[in-house]
Structure 1
C-alpha cells in the first residue's frame, strides 16, 4: 500500500523526494502504458501457447515412492526390487465368513476369482484358496499344484481341504486367518503407472460390487486400493479448489471495489498465473501429488494480494488526477513493496529445494514460481488493463462509501496502542515465548496417509477389517543382493535367515506380535522338506545339508514350482528377498521395528556370508513411509532456517538497517510460534504435509510487515513527525488494504476446508490461524517494534 496523501500532492513538489526505485517504477509504468496493447497481446499469446503445449500433459501421481527423487537411494532400491521381483504392492480382496469351507461359499469364491482374473490385462496373478500352492511328494519326485485343482464335491472332500488349509503355515495370515473365518484373494499386477493402477482397481471394485451382498460381504484393501482412492480424491479436489477459490476471490473483490475492472482484471491475472504454473509443472515432468495439489488455492490466494494493494490505491486516487498519472504514481509507490513481498513469499518456498524429497521440492519450486509469476503479470497485464479505464464521474465516485467506516479509527488505534505500550508488549512476548516453547515441545510427529481419508471411506474400513483379522496390510521387503552364486543354498546362511525370521515374529508392539507373516525361500524349502518326508509336521524345517537343499529345490523346480522360486530368489541363488507383513499404523510406529530388523539383518547375514552391509536393503511401503518422514523432519527445519535467513537479509536490504531488519521478524515469528504451540496443545500431529507450514507461512506473513514498515519509513523521511503520528498515518492508509488481503488469503485458504482429505483440511486451518494472528501482530507488535527502534530518534 502507498500513502494516499503523498500521491495526491503535485508531482513537481514530490519529484525530488522520490527514491531511485520509485523513479524506476515510474518509468516502468509509463512503458507499460505506452505499449499496453503490445504488452497484453504478447503476454497472452506467450501464456496461451505455453499452456496449450504443456498443460494437457500434466499428470498425477500419488504412489508412495513418488515422494523421492529418481536419484535417491530409496527410489533406486524400490526400482531394483521391481526389476527383480515385480510389483510388491498387492490388492487384497477380503471375505469374512463362518462357512468358508462350504460348497456355496467356495462356488461363489470360484466365480469371483475367475472374474477378477479377467478384470484387466494388467493383472499378472490372482491367488486364493482355489489355486493356493500345494507341494506334495511321491516316491522320487515333487508335485506342485493348486489346492483345489479338483473342485470338492462332497463333505468329506471339503473337510479334507479345511484340515489341509488350517495346517498349512504358509497360508496363515495371508490366505486364511487362524480360525478359518476370514479368507483373501490376492491380486498382483504388472509394474504399472498411477493411471493404470486407478483403472485396474476401479475394475476390481466394479466386479466386487456385483458379487457383494449381505450374506457375502467383501472388502477391497491394499496399497493399490488406497492409492486409487487418493488419486480419485485428488482429481475431485483439483477442480473443486479452482472453482471455490475463484468464487471466493470474485465475491471479495466485488465487495471491496464494486467495479467490473476490480474483479475481472485481478481474476484474469491470477487465473493465467495458475495455468502458467501448472504448465511449468508439466514442462518439467512434475506431476500433481497429495502435496502439490495444495498449490492451487495457494497460488490463487497469494497471487491476488499485489492486485489488491494496487487497486486499493489506484481507485482511491484516480478521481483527483488523470487515470494514467494516478496509475503511474500508484506503481511508483507500490512497486517496491509488492516486489519485496513476492520475493519473500518465493524465498520461503524456494527454501524447500532439495535433491531427494521431490514432492516438497516441487511444492517449493512451483509455489515460488507462481508467486513471482503473479507479480510479473500484475505489474504488466493488470497495469495495462487499468490504463484503459476512463476517469469516473464525480457523482459516481462519491456514491461509493467506505465499506467499514469504523476501520478508519479501529486499525490505527491498535497501532497507537502498540506504540504507547511497547515495553509491556515486549514483556508479554518474552513471557509468551517460554510458554510457546513448552507447548511446541508437546508436538508429536506422525504420518498416516490412510487417516487423510474419512473414517467412513470404504478402503479405510477394509484396511481396519483386514488388520483385525490378518494383521498384515503393509509390507516390508528385505532385499539381499550378493555376488555369491548359490548363497541361498548355504545351510549357514539359511540358518541365519531363519533366525532373522524368528526375531521378526518375536517382536512385540503394545504387548502383541507385530509381524503377522514372513515369506521367503525358507517357506518353499520347508514345504519341500516336509513333502519328501511323507508330509510329517516335524520335517517342516530347513535341512542342514547343502546337497540335500539343492536336491530338494531342484525337485521343486522340475515339479512345477519354477514360477514360485522366481518370486523369492534369483536363478543363480545369489539374490533373494524376505517379505514381512504388519498392520497399517502411523509411520513412526514402524521405526523401532525397522531399526531392529536392519540391525539384526546386518549382524546375522553378514556374519554367515561375509557380505557387505550395503548388499542388504530394506524397501517396500513400510520402509518408504519411515524413510520419507525421517528425511522430511530435518528438511523442514533446514527449510525454515534458510527461509528465515533469506527473508531477514531481504528485510535488512529493504530497510537499510541490520537491527530493524532482524527485529522486524518478531511479528512474523510470533504467529508461527503461537500456531505451532496450539498444535501441541490440541494434539495436532506434525506429518509429511504440515511439516512445512511454518516456512510457507513465513514467506506470506512477512508481506504485511514489509508494507507497514516501508510506508512508515516513507512518512518519516518525507514528513518527519512523531512516531505515534507516523504509525497512525501509516495504518490509516495501509490498514484496510492489509486487512482485505488477509481476508482474501484466509477465505482463499478456507477452500482447503472443503477438501475430502484430512491433511489438506488441517493445513488450511493452520494457515488461517497463522494469517489471522499475523494480521493482529502487524497492527500491534509491528508498531511496538517501530517504537523500540525509533524511540531515540524522536
Structure 2
C-alpha cells in the first residue's frame, strides 16, 4: 500500500513540476529575492562562542561575577620590548600615543607609564596622596634613569602590570567601556582608531608595537571569519565545478549545477538572516558545505537524465523518470545527511543548535532546488550532444570497478584482516586523543595577533583573564585583616604557578599603602600587622585616591573582592591541574561557612565548554546512529540489515578518531563536528548500495553472489563520483587559516574516503559471508520505502515505444 502511495506521489510530483515549470521558476526567483533581503539581518559575532547552556553552573557563576564587577574582557594592551624606547624622544612619543586614546568615548581609562602614581604619606593631614612619576613629560636621560630605578626596584605594586623589570618590556593598558565590548563599536575602535594610530607611531619611531587583549583578539578573529566565508565559497565552487566538468565534459551541465548551488547558498544566508543568528566560526562553514553537498545531488539527477536520453531519446519521458526514480533516492540520502546535522539541535549548546538548525534546513532546501530547477531547465534546452554522453561508457573507471569486484571475490579474508587491524590500531589511537580547551587553539597560528599573544605570554605570563571572586557574606568584610591574609595565601600559590601571571587585587593595594606609610621603603611592601592596620586604615579612609583605586578590586558594599590573574594558552590537562590546585588551596584557606569563593573568567568558561561539547559529541553521534538505524529499519524491516549497514560506517569513524590520536589532533569544538557530519553523509552510500542490492535479489531470483556483484558494478561508479566530489569539496576547508577548520576539512575528507572504500569492499563482503542469515525473503522482506523503483520498461520496449 505504502509502496503504491510512494510511486503515485512521485508520479504526481513529476507531472506538477513539468507542467508548472514557469510558475515554479517564478516562485524560486521570488523566494531567492526574499531571502536576499534577509541578509541585512545577519549579524557577525562580537563575543566568544559560549559553548555551555545559559543555565549551566559555570555560566551562572560567570554571570554573577559580571553583575558585580562588569565585563572582565575589556582590556587591550600595547607592548614594546626595545631598549631604544628609553630615550627622551621615544618615551615621550610612547606616552603621547597612550594619552591620545583617552579622548575617545569608547575608552573608559588608559594606564601608561605616565599615568603611574606614587602613593605618598601626608603626615600633616594624616592621609595618602598620589604623585605622578612623570609630571609633564620626560626632559632628560637622567630623569629616565631615575624613573627606571624607581619603577623597577622600589615599587613592586606595579611590577608585571605595566612593565617587566627583568626584560625591560613596557606596556600600556587601554580599558574599553564595558557596554561597547560586545558590540560593533569595539570593531570600529580597533580597526579605525587603534590600528592606524599604532602604525603611524611605528613608522615615526621605528619601534615594533605588540597589541593584544581579548577585545583586540576577538575583533581580528571575527574579521578573519568574515573574510574566509567568501574565500570558501569561491574555492568550493571552483573545485566542485572542475570535478563536475571532468566527469560530464559539459559546460552546460556544469553551469546549471553552479546556478543551483549558488541559489542554495543565497537561501542559506537568508535562513541566517530570518533566524537572526550570528555568523560564527561554525555557521560560516555552512554555505560552502551546501555547495559540496549540493553538487552530488546534481550529479545523480543529470547523470540519470543523460542515461535515459541515451536509452530511448524521449526528453519529456527522461525528465519524468529523473524525478520519479532519482527524486526518492536523493530525498532519502539528503534526509539522512540532514539528520546527521539535526542531531546538534538536541544538544544544550546554543552554538551547536544554531549550526544544526541552519545546516539541516539548508540541506533540505538544496534538495528541493535540485529537484525543481534541473528538470525544468532541461525542458528548455536541446538534447545533449554525443560528446556529452561519452562519459556514460565509463571506460576510464572500468579498472576501478574490476579491482573492487576482484577484491570482494578473491581477497575477502584480506579485507576482514585489514579491517580488524585498522580497528585495533584505531582503538589504541583513540586512547591517545587529548581535549583542547584553549581559546586561541583554533586561531590562525601564523597571524600577527597570535604571535603577539605569544609575546605577552612570555613577557607577562598571558592575557587570558582568570578571575577568583570572594564573597565574605557580610558588608565591608573584604577589608578585614583576616580576609586579606587569606587572599594573600591564595595569591602566593598563584605567583608560584608559572602558567599564571602575578595577581592583581586589593591585597596589593593594602601592601602598597603600608609601603607608603613607611615613606616608600620597598621592604615594607607586605600586609600590615593587626597593630599597624588601624593606623594605615585611618590614613586610607581620609584619601579619595585610595577609594578610586579600590573600586576596581572591591564592590561598592565591600562584601565582594576579586583576584585577577592572566593565564597562558595551556592545554586542558594543565588547566585542570591548576584549577584543582587552586581549589584545594581555596578549600583549605577559606572556611565555607564564612566565605563563598568561585573561579571564573573567559578562559575557564571556554575550557569547561569544550569538555561539555565532548559529552555532547557522544550524545549527538549516538542520536545520529539511532535515527539512521530507525530509518534503515523502516526501509528494510530487518534488524540484521541494520547491523550489517552500520559496521562499514562506524569503522571509518573509529579510524578517523584513531588518526586524531596518532597525529595529535585534539578534540575541540571544530573537530567535534567531524563524526556526526561524516556519518550522516557516508551512510548515503550504504542506502544506495543496499537498495540496489535488494532490487537485484528480486530480479535475480534471490541469487546472492550475482546480486551483490551487480549492485557493486551499478552503484560503485556513482559512489566513486560523489565520494570524489565530497573528498575534494571538504578539502577546500584546508586552505583556511584557522587550525580547527583545516582539521575539520581534512578529517571529514579522510573519513568519507574510508567510508567509500568500506562501503565498496567491506559491505559487499559481509553480505556474501552472511548470505544464509540475511539474504532471504524472510529477512529481506518487502521494503516500506522503495529507494530505487523497479524498471517498468525494458530497453527494447522503450526503443519500440518511442
With structure 1 as the length reference, what TM-score do the two structures score?
Answer: 0.90
Aligned to 1:10: none
Per-residue CA distance 1:618-673 (angstroms, 9 max, x = gap):
22232123112221211112222221222222122222211111221111112222
Assess, with a 3 A threshold, how the Cα gap between structure 1 residues 705 and 428 changes in structure 2: closer, same or farther.
same
Aligned to 2:515: 530
8 Å contact from structure 2 (residues 232, 288) kept in 1:
yes
8 Å contact from structure 1 (residues 707, 734) kept in 2:
yes
Q: What's the offset of the Cα at 1:469?
A: 2.1
Structure 1 position 169 matched with structure 2 position 156: yes
Report the Cα distance in structure 1 between the residues aligned to 2:531 and 2:184, rounded to whole angstroms.
46
Per-residue CA distance 1:132-187 (angstroms, 9 max, x = gap):
24322111111134332343434554343223212222211111112261110111
Aligned to 1:425: 415
Report the Cα distance in structure 1 between the residues aligned to 2:29 and 2:587, rounded to whole angstroms.
60
With structure 2 as the length reference, what TM-score do the two structures score?
Answer: 0.89
8 Å contact from structure 1 (residues 476, 619) kept in 2:
yes
8 Å contact from structure 2 (residues 35, 267) kept in 1:
yes
Q: Which moved more, 1:736-745 or 1:474-483?
A: 474-483
Assess, with a 3 A threshold, how the Cα gap between structure 1 residues 44 and 550 changes in structure 2: closer, same or farther.
farther
User: What SS does the corresponding residue of 1:24 show, helix, strand or coil?
Assistant: helix
Report the Cα distance in structure 1 between the residues aligned to 2:334 and 2:225, rounded to whole angstroms.
28
Aligned to 1:367: 359
Assess, with a 3 A threshold, how the Cα gap between structure 1 residues 719 and 262 changes in structure 2: closer, same or farther.
farther
Aligned to 1:327: 319
Q: Which moved more, 1:144-153 or 1:373-382?
A: 144-153
Aligned to 1:595: 580
Aligned to 1:446: 436
Structure 1 position 350 matched with structure 2 position 342: yes
For structure 2, the residue ranges without an aligned partner over 5 or more in a row are 777-802
8 Å contact from structure 2 (residues 50, 606) kept in 1:
no
Report the Cα distance in structure 1 between the residues aligned to 2:495 and 2:127, rounded to whole angstroms.
32
Report the Cα distance in structure 1 between the residues aligned to 2:635 and 2:534, rounded to whole angstroms.
75
The equivalences for 1:586-665 within 5 A come to 586-607=571-592, 610-611=594-595, 613=596, 616-665=597-646
8 Å contact from structure 2 (residues 264, 365) kept in 1:
yes
Q: What's the offset of the Cα at 1:488?
A: 0.8
Aligned to 1:230: 221
Q: What's the offset of the Cα at 1:545?
A: 4.4
Assess, with a 3 A threshold, how the Cα gap between structure 1 residues 128 and 700 changes in structure 2: closer, same or farther.
same
8 Å contact from structure 2 (residues 162, 171) kept in 1:
yes
Report the Cα distance in structure 2 between the residues aligned to 1:761 and 1:65, rounded to whole angstroms.
18
Structure 1 position 160 matched with structure 2 position 185: no
The equivalences for 1:35-184 within 5 A come to 35-52=20-37, 54-61=38-45, 63-89=47-73, 90-98=75-83, 101-118=86-103, 120-139=104-123, 140-166=126-152, 167-179=154-166, 181-184=168-171
Report the Cα distance in structure 2 between the residues aligned to 1:24 and 1:714, rounded to whole angstroms.
20
8 Å contact from structure 1 (residues 660, 789) kept in 2:
no
Aligned to 1:282: 273
Q: What's the offset of the Cα at 1:460?
A: 2.2
Report the Cα distance in structure 2 between the residues aligned to 1:62 and 1:590, rounded to whole angstroms.
25
Assess, with a 3 A threshold, how the Cα gap between structure 1 residues 145 and 477 changes in structure 2: closer, same or farther.
farther
Q: What's the offset of the Cα at 1:277?
A: 2.1
Report the Cα distance in structure 1 between the residues aligned to 2:108 and 2:146, rounded to whole angstroms.
30
Q: What's the offset of the Cα at 1:94?
A: 0.6
Aligned to 2:781: none
Report the Cα distance in structure 1 between the residues aligned to 2:538 and 2:637, rounded to whole angstroms.
77
User: What SS does the corresponding residue of 2:478 show, helix, strand or coil?
Assistant: helix
Q: What's the offset of the Cα at 1:355?
A: 5.5
Q: What's the offset of the Cα at 1:321?
A: 4.8
Report the Cα distance in structure 1 between the residues aligned to 2:2 and 2:410, rounded to whole angstroms.
30
Assess, with a 3 A threshold, how the Cα gap between structure 1 residues 453 and 485 changes in structure 2: closer, same or farther.
closer
Q: What's the offset of the Cα at 1:113?
A: 1.3
User: What SS does the corresponding residue of 2:157 show, helix, strand or coil?
Assistant: coil
The equivalences for 1:357-436 within 5 A come to 357-391=349-383, 396=386, 400-402=390-392, 404-408=394-398, 410-411=400-401, 413-415=403-405, 417-419=407-409, 421-436=411-426
Report the Cα distance in structure 2 between the residues aligned to 1:88 and 1:428, rounded to whole angstroms.
54
Q: Provide the aligned length of Structure 1 versus Structure 2.
A: 766
Q: What's the offset of the Cα at 1:505?
A: 1.7
8 Å contact from structure 2 (residues 347, 616) kept in 1:
no
Aligned to 1:501: 491
Assess, with a 3 A threshold, how the Cα gap between structure 1 residues 557 and 734 changes in structure 2: closer, same or farther.
farther
Structure 1 position 581 matched with structure 2 position 549: no
Aligned to 2:14: 29
Report the Cα distance in structure 2 between the residues aligned to 1:88 and 1:626, rounded to whole angstroms.
17
Aligned to 1:469: 459
Assess, with a 3 A threshold, how the Cα gap between structure 1 residues 234 and 308 changes in structure 2: closer, same or farther.
same
User: What SS does the corresponding residue of 1:446 show, helix, strand or coil?
Assistant: coil
For structure 1, the residue ranges without an aligned partner over 5 or more in a row are 1-15, 508-512
8 Å contact from structure 1 (residues 422, 787) kept in 2:
no
User: What SS does the corresponding residue of 1:689 show, helix, strand or coil?
Assistant: helix
Q: Which moved more, 1:129-138 or 1:422-431?
A: 422-431
